[in-house]
Amino acid sequence: MRNVYVLGTGMIKFGRYPERTVPQLGAEAAIIALKDAGVTIKDIEIFISGNLFQANAMVGQRILQQIGQTGIPVVNVTNACATGSTAFREAYIAVASGMYDVSLAVGSEQMGKAGLLGANRDGVTDPAYNTEGKLGSGLMPAVFGQAGIEHMRKYGTTLAHMAKISVKSHKHATKNPFSQYRNEVTLDDVMHSRMIAYPNTLYMCCPTGDGAAAAVLVSENKLRQFAGGRKRPKVAAAVLTSDPWTERDLAWPDVSTLTRRAAKQAFEMAGVGPEDIALTELHDCFATAELVHYENLQLCGDGEAAKFIDEGGGMHPALGGHSPVNVSGGLLSKGHPLGATGVANICEITWHLTQDERAKERQVPDAKVGMAHVIGLGSACTIHILTI
């Protein structure tokens, strides 16, 4: 496999755009990424589009109608919440394999006020694997609430520990102009906001909305041609896993095993360890998810997430923390337009590694290695490690 580099990135502010279409959102992010890379659509050899809610609507081709139709192959992918990150990985593979030298990945989604993310829509979930009536609910707040409850049972973690994650992420978001919400919240605000699915309160749940993000990936030869001496991050690891079979999975979704397996593979592929990671953008669809992923990604030991939080783990160094997680504000504040999330995480990591102006207000100092993580229940987990 050849070395692959992120030449350019683009992202629009996450929010709500009822007057616009999904292709328009994706096209805007793509144009920003092309300009950032210093290339045009004529230089792109393959395009991978990630979108979930319009998976049957040829979103990639419709984006090209906005930015230029050159006859290149277009692949549309969907993989639950890991849709955008899967699109990025496919764009990586296209170049790493040697088949193409320049690829474009775009993740886009338009959700508006879609409400709670359901897992039991008619025609989607086989009744044999439906948790409804067995564990109370198959809705995502409850699924991840169960993960939090299990951590509390095993390790004595408290609601306050999980609420601190939301406080941290909202504070981080105040420095991110791309974030859907940029308001600070107090620990009291989080703990006493409306209960959604214990222990997840309202401020411990990510908002829905619209968004798009894009990345241009190139081979080493094309990097020398287009980068103009600019340092661009290498994709040191690109991993995609699914759940191995266990009896538990039939009734109780496992949000951890596929991440642990992906993390192990990613560290081995990149030749780095968790101690080398300068910043992490992980899948904090709920505060409980971020907490368990601290351990799944080896940012701390098993059962040590509460201690990690109490000692400033996950917080930006400028705020007195260490091992910063979701300095973008994460899904809890930045928002979670499903198809866009995975590519947006790549954008954030890239900006810190290259000291891009778009991350100036929240720059993690001396960042040389960054990790982006997304899971999609069903199941899929992507982990990308970028190095500079």
Let me know if 336 is a catalytic residue.
yes
Backbone angles phi, psi at 365, to 5 degrees: -65, 140
The catalytic position among 81, 205, 206, 300 is 81
The catalytic position among 151, 336, 352, 384 is 336
Largest CA distance in the chain: 59
The rounded distance, in Å, linking the Cα atoms of 360 and 372 is: 19
The rounded distance, in Å, linking the Cα atoms of 205 and 170 is: 12
If phi > 0 it is left, if psi is from -120 to 50 it is alpha, else beta; for residue 262 that is alpha
- Alpha helices (H) along the chain: 22-37, 59-67, 83-96, 140-155, 159-173, 187-191, 220-226, 257-270, 287-296, 305-310, 330-334, 338-353
Backbone angles phi, psi at 115, to 5 degrees: 80, -170
| Residue 291: closest CA among 274, 277, 308, 276 | 308
| Residue 235: closest CA among 379, 75, 345 | 345
Let me know if 300 is a catalytic residue.
no
The rounded distance, in Å, linking the Cα atoms of 26 and 10 is: 10
The rounded distance, in Å, linking the Cα atoms of 67 and 53 is: 22
Catalytic machinery residues: 81, 336
